[in-house]
């Protein structure tokens, strides 16, 4: 990858830890700086039919937060109705998830914008098919990673294991985000400090609990200084 970072992959310590919310904030922050953006959620499980086509709510959030217009199919090449692990949803639908399909969609998008935000599904090691995981997809895409850590009991272990696997694969880890998903978490600051001392990459942002993730949030909320464009 060139020294100029024009794409970033957002992964998380688990499902429901705030990957989509952080990705949305990042896209809005970039847009507020006049930076052309596109977004991609390569695969999504849990979708509803809109106008005769399956649409995933998180993928729609990302598509709407980006400031350039692309087809839904490019943003979300694999969309499954069942809200289960994507490789199981694909098997149920009689489809094989192929990284080449995702890479082709990515190539069509990222050359046309300044920064592209790609969001994963679930955690870092979620299977795509019988042989590959999200981690393998990120390696094939050649993207640096931001890790969203859902701050709740057990997050230290999940964060350190994920960061270790990312680094062992030789994938650049730009930093991590502490997303406070439990507003009354005991010893929150101590947990954040414990991760920060051990993860050896910058804490980019701490996002505090928001009861309604659909509310309007000032675009300047998140740090974009680590991205070069």
- Coil vs helix vs strand at 96: coil
Task: Answer whether 9's CB lies under 8 Å from 145's CB.
Answer: yes
Task: Answer whether 141's CB lies under 8 Å from 10's CB.
Answer: no
Q: Does the annotation count 53 as an active-site position?
A: no
Round to whole Å and give the CA distance between 3 and 1: 7
Across 135-155, b (16+ Cβ under 10 Å) vs e yields bbbbbebebbbbbbbbbbeeb
Round to whole Å and give the CA distance between 77 and 179: 27
Which of 19, 41, 167, 225 is catalytic? The answer is: 41
Round to whole Å and give the CA distance between 229 and 26: 14
Task: Answer whether 226's CB lies under 8 Å from 174's CB.
Answer: yes
Task: Answer whether 120's CB lies under 8 Å from 14's CB.
Answer: no
Using only C-alpha atoms, the chain has a radius of gyration, in whole angstroms, of: 17
Catalytic residues, by residue number, are: 41
């Amino acid at each position: 990858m060139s020294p100029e970072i024009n794409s970033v992959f957002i992964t998380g310590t688990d499902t429901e830890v705030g990957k989509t919310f952080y990705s949305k904030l990042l896209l809005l922050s970039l847009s507020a700086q006049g930076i052309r953006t596109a977004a991609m959620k390569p695969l999504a499980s849990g979708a509803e039919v809109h106008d005769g086509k399956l649409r995933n709510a998180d993928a729609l959030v990302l598509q709407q937060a980006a400031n350039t217009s692309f087809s839904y199919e490019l943003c979300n090449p694999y969309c499954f109705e069942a809200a289960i692990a994507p490789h199981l949803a694909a098997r149920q639908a009689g489809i094989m998830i192929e990284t080449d399909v995702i890479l082709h969609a990515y190539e069509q998008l990222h050359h046309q914008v300044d920064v592209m935000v790609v969001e994963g599904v679930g955690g870092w090691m979620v299977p795509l098919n019988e042989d590959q995981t999200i981690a393998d997809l990120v390696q094939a895409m050649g993207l640096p990673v931001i890790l969203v850590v859902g701050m709740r009991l057990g997050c230290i272990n999940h964060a350190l294991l994920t960061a270790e696997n990312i680094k062992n694969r030789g994938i650049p880890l730009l930093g991590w985000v502490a997303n406070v998903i439990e507003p009354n978490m005991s010893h929150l600051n101590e947990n954040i400090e414990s991760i920060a001392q051990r993860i050896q990459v910058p804490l980019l942002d701490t996002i505090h609990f928001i009861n309604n993730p659909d509310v309007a949030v000032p675009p300047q909320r998140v740090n974009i200084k680590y991205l070069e464009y």
